[in-house]
Structure 1
Amino acid sequence: MGGEENQVHIFFFPFMAHGHMIPTIDMAKLFASRGVKATIVTTPLNAPLVSRTIQRSKGLGFDINIKTIKFPAVEVGLPEGCENADSITSHETQGEMTKKVFMATTMLQQPLEKLLQECHPDCLIADMFLPWTTDAAAKFGIPRLVFHGISCFSLCASDCLNRYKPYKKVSSDSELFVVPELPGDIKFTSKQLPDYMKQNVETDFTRLIQKVRESSLKSYGIVVNSFYELESDYANFFKELGRKAWHIGPVSLCNREFEDKAQRGKEASIDEHECLKWLDSKKPNSVVYICFGTVDKFSDSQLKEIAIALEASGQQFIWVVRKDKKAKDNEEWLPEGFEKRMESKGLIIRGWAPQVVILDHEAIGGFVTHCGWNSTIEGIAAGKPMVTWPVSAEQFFNEKLVTDVLKIGVAVGVQQWVTVYGDKIASGAVEKAVTRIMTGEEAKEMRSRVEALGGMAKRAIEEDGSSYSNLNALIEELRGRRH
């Protein structure tokens, strides 16, 4: 690699939310494993979330560090110590508080510029939700790459929908329409599209999305947590739009050791070894894993429907529920005596689960997911068929990729995009979908397709694989810009 002076230095600046931070940290580790000097920029209270991982990486000889900048929580009216979008708990104030988090991030421009001036990195990879970073980096002649944290398929679908607005030409919000120009004859209803896409009135969020779009177009390019073979039609389509993108994923696969997989994100609410011991006692492909990401919340009545469905399906399961076990007796979302009856069949994890460790286990035969991109790509990399249950963001796009394009999953039947609480689905539909990915011919076919994709994912990040080569090309391009 040559000496210090030849070493490429990259700043990584994730948005302060677990779903954005985890893949960014994985990405920083990936670049560092290629001899890049990686600096993660975050705020004091978010630093501990990444420091364990960083310490382990440094132990492997990676050049990876953290720089912190003060987060102006109090200045924007957030409680002291609220520096992460996930620390907002009450739903009533969620919209207001999230607005304040975004406002606070815009106030980080000056301190970031100071760091850029001091360190003058070769590149800044910043989250899509920090659109002002394109201009901040440009002041110092530093290229900014955008990390959207979503699939190339979703980037292409959004682009076509924004350009042609086909949802304006339908007679009702439940009428299907084809997305113009997008490969694969993809159909949506207007109900399934994000509110901010269809709004005629300007809101803070639609303004932010507009800025995200503009700053992406002005940026040097995009890094995608995906691999070329998974969505080649869409990678090619994106290139034809004249946009630069590097597929360098799945970034979660940079975690090879058990500890690395187990320690991504927050402290797990269950002992990883206990969890594995439980899985080790099960037959291959006999357990369904249910988890709806870090943000989406379900009502008690919906959780109850899921519980009823799991019991009726007769499948063994690991179910992650974002609920504290404070009032043990008052868990109204659980049917009477459910846990007692399910003792050997099911495991409920309340809180944070070591997802990659669980998905990688051979006992897991299927994954019920909200279709956040992190979960979707982790499910694909682990070779698990999915039940898709999208809620918000670009999750309905990921559902179409899984069910219609890749044909590695079945939809639970959600029709309506919402911000937080999922669409109400009856236990019968949940039971049917779970059974479809776990047993029978169709399940077998989906499993063999997704296992093949999982194999491709692993090859993509190995030497000479597509993601490996893309990453090398990007590093060399950045090195070349200096001379």
Structure 2
Amino acid sequence: MDTKPPSPPHVVIFPFPAQGHVNSMLKLTELLLEASLNITFLISAKDHDRLARFTTVHSHLNSYSGHFRFHVIHGLYEGPMVTEEQQSLIMAESLPKVVGPLLRNLLLDSQVTCLIADGFTDFPLDAAQGTGVPVISFRTISACAFWAYFSVPELIESGDLPIQGTNLDERILSLKGMEGFLRRRDLPSFCRSDINNKIFQQITRISRRTTEAHALLINTFDDLEGPIISQIQQHCPNIYTIGPLHAHLKARTSSKTTSSNSLFEEDKTCITWLDQKAPKSVLYVSFGSLATVTREQLMEFWYGLVNSGKLFLWVIREDLVLKQDDENKVPIELEEGTKERGYMVGWAPQEEVLAHPAVGAFLTHNGWNSTLESIVEGVPMISWPYFADQQINSRFVEAVWKLGLDMKDTCDRTIIEKTIKEVMEERKMEFIESANRMARLAKESINEGGSSYGNLNRLVEDIKMMGIGSK
């Protein structure tokens, strides 16, 4: 008697609805589709619409052997997400109310093998209770940032939190693995708030609940964050480090074209502009998809860029500058300096930009995707973190990985000009050598025999075993 072959495992993936989260979890989706798993990807109506408008992701994901479908979520708050408070509002109210029941119904009614849920939320753990479906928590931030989030109760117990006084350069000695270099100003931005603050309480609770998940998935690699991963492993023993995801995907799918996962329309004319520039001569400037600046800060950056004398490619989203009634006229010296040496776009194909030989440094907010993309391409960084995990990422960039300089908590044209010159002139070879070394380690991790390569294979096999166990 013929027996029907078992159907491939079916994985439900749920990202937090923001550019950085959706981007990295779509890359994970492709890697799992490449391994012939079936994927249902939950996505907000707004993000789904933007992907349909600006990318070919639908047709691209359906070209794999694994079956893929988007499950569009309606009824979510779809306004702007600029501040931590607004993100917290969505996390605390709209998402659990709308997505919680949807997730539970999917897990109960479908042949779901496992749920990979964004670790920025904890309600998926509740939705999965009693369904028999294992939950893998995926953190789209760095291991060092997650470890800082996780360690907040210990920071309170040691007296490091709440922060007392105004000296932000005081050392933090109670965060294991970071005792020698971490300062108050390097803690995640929510640590500067009252410990009874709603955001503070939510992030702490959610981070600690990661131990309830079947496993923890992190977009990093062992040679970059090994000592911190070892700290986390004492609490979450089953960890898959499979990053850098964007490079891992390219390595595994070399015969396929890649698709942009951008929720913004990319202006590719900047690549033509870069093509005309000398190697390592251009400073790329982008503060990601969420950061905002005041007009005063914009002008400080603008003067710093022009006064540095360097060529620059600057991403200025239409919502980057907080609306003010200030005079919008641009000083003539900035107009002339920009015409001579600058190029501005509303959004750039960032992976392509950072891989371009003309780019010599990256002035970044140190969002984790941006940081990893810069590391993979061996591009030194100038850090200006905005919020959340970016503060700690920027400290590791400067103090641990030696990949650039950190300008956090300043916005002064003189400092900006000086820092650009230091990274792109005075210490140029030092930073390039360090960045090239880390780029080599990143690429080794995702090739056969590398740590991330092996961990992805282990993840796929473990998911397949879950499927067998559920039959």
Q: TM-score of the superposition, structure 1-length normalised?
A: 0.85
Alignment match, 1:76:
none
| 1:392 matched residue in structure 2 | 387
* Deviation for aligned residue 1:54: 3.3
Give the match's secondary structure for 2:293.
Answer: coil
Who is 1:427 aligned against?
A: 413
In structure 2, relative to structure 1, the CA distance for the partners of 1:364 and 1:109 (3 Å cut) is same
Q: Note the C-alpha offset of 1:163.
A: 1.2
Partner of 2:109: 118
| 2:42 corresponds to 1:56 | no
Superposition pairs of residues 30-429 of structure 1, within 5 angstroms: 30-51=31-52, 52-73=56-77, 82=78, 87-88=80-81, 95=85, 99-100=89-90, 102-107=92-97, 108-165=99-156, 166=158, 167-168=160-161, 172-174=165-167, 175-180=169-174, 182-194=176-188, 196-197=190-191, 199-200=193-194, 202-253=196-247, 254-255=249-250, 263-270=260-267, 272=268, 274-323=269-318, 332=328, 334-336=330-332, 338-350=334-346, 352-412=347-407, 414-415=408-409, 424-429=410-415
Deviation at 1:400, TM superposition (A): 1.5
Is the contact between residue 221 and residue 241 of structure 2 (CA under 8 Å) also seen in structure 1? yes
C-alpha separation between the residues in 2 aligned to 1:332 and 1:260?
42
Q: Distance in 2 between matches of 1:364 and 1:298?
A: 24
Is the CA contact 2:189–2:387 (under 8 Å) kept in the aligned structure 1? no
Deviations 1:115-161 (A, max 9, x none): 12222321111112331101212321111111221111222233344
Most deviating of 48-57 and 147-156: 48-57
Task: Give the root-mean-square deviation of aligned CA atoms.
Answer: 2.9
Instruction: Name the CA distance, whole Å, in 1 between partners of 2:301 and 2:239.
Output: 39
Shift, 1:363, TM fit? 0.7
Q: Is the 8 A contact 2:155 2:161 kept in 1?
A: no
Structure 1 CA distance for aligned equivalents of residues 63 and 155 of structure 2: 51
Distance 2:246 2:183 in 1: 32
Secondary structure of 1:150's counterpart equals coil
Deviation of 1:439 (Å): 1.4
Which amino acid in the other structure matches residue 173 of structure 1? T
CA distance in 2: counterparts of 1:241 and 1:117, whole angstroms:
29
Of residues 465, 472, 475, the one that matches 2:450 is 465
Shift in Å, 1:344: 4.4
CA contact (8 A) 2:36 2:64 kept: no
* 1:174-194 deviation digits (Å, cap 9, x = unpaired): 141233252253434434434
Alpha-carbon distance, 1:232 to partner = 1.4
Shift of 1:404: 0.8
- 1:11 and 1:38 in contact (8 A); partners too: yes
Structure 2 CA distance, aligned partners of 1:480 and 1:269?
40
Secondary structure at 1:146's aligned position in 2?
A: strand
Tell me the amino acid that sits aligned with residue 73 of structure 2.
I
Alpha-carbon deviation of 1:213? 2.2
What secondary structure does 2:332 align onto?
Answer: coil
Distance in 1 (CA, whole Å) between partners of 2:192 and 2:416 is 29
What letter is aligned with 1:347? Answer: Y
Partner residue in 1 for 2:424:
438
Structure 2: which 5+ runs fail to align? Answer: none
**TM-aligned CA distance change 1:385 to 1:339, over 3 Å:** same
Q: Which residue of 2 aligns with 1:477?
A: 462
Per-residue CA deviation, residues 230-250 of structure 1 (Å, 9 max, x unaligned), is: 111112222233432211111
Which residue identity lines up with residue 140 of structure 1 in the other structure? T
Name the structure, 1 or 2, with higher relative contact order (CA <8 Å, separation 6+): 2
Task: Tell me, in whole angstroms, the C-alpha distance in 2 between the residues paired with 1:259 and 1:276.
Answer: 22
SS of the residue 2:75 aligns to = coil
- Closer, same or farther: CA 261–449 of 1 in aligned 2, 3 Å: farther
Offset of 1:267 from its aligned partner? 3.9
Identical columns (%): 25
Q: State the alpha-carbon separation in 2 of the partners of residues 425 and 144 from structure 1.
A: 42
Deviations 1:324-357 (A, max 9, x none): 6999xx983743253444324211113x221111
Contact kept, 8 Å, 2:186 with 2:395, in 1: the verdict is no
Distance 1:203 1:433 in 2: 35
- 8 Å Cα contact 1:279-1:361 kept in structure 2: yes
SS at match of 2:6: helix
Distance 1:39 1:135 in 2: 19
* C-alpha distance 335-126 of structure 1, shift in aligned 2 (>3 A): farther
Match of 2:441 in 1: 456
**TM-score of the pair, normalised by structure 2:** 0.87
Q: What's the offset of the Cα at 1:223?
A: 0.8
Tell me how far apart the structure 2 counterparts of residues 241 and 201 of structure 1 sit (CA, whole Å).
23
Q: Which amino acid aligns with 1:29?
A: E
Alignment check: 8 A CA contact 1:307 1:335 kept: no
The aligned amino acid for 2:223 is: E
C-alpha distance after superposition, 1:24-64 (max 9, x if no partner): 11111111112222221123332234453131132244432
* Alpha-carbon distance in 2 for matches of 1:258, 1:465: 20
1:284 Cα offset (Å): 1.1
How many residues end up aligned between the 2 structures?
453
* 1:145 aligned counterpart, secondary structure: strand
CA contact (8 A) 1:290 1:317 kept: yes
Deviation at 1:196, TM superposition (A): 3.7
Q: Evaluate the alpha carbon distance shift between residue 304 and residue 262 of structure 1 in structure 2; reply closer, same or farther with a 3 A threshold.
A: farther
Q: What code does the residue aligned with 1:433 have?
A: T
> For residues 85 and 175 of structure 2, what CA distance do their matches in structure 1 show?
34
| CA distance in 1 between partners of 2:445 and 2:274 (Å) | 28
Distance 2:384 2:355 in 1: 21
Cα deviation digits, residues 8-30 of structure 1 (max 9, x gap): 22111011111211111111111
| SS class of match (2:261) | coil
Structure 1 residues 333 and 62 mapped into 2: Cα distance closer, same or farther (>3 Å)? farther
Helix, strand or coil for the counterpart of 1:476? Answer: helix
> Any unmatched runs of 5+ in structure 1?
74-81, 416-423
Contact 1:109 1:132 in 2 (8 A): yes
Measured after TM superposition, the shift of residue 458 of structure 1 is 2.2
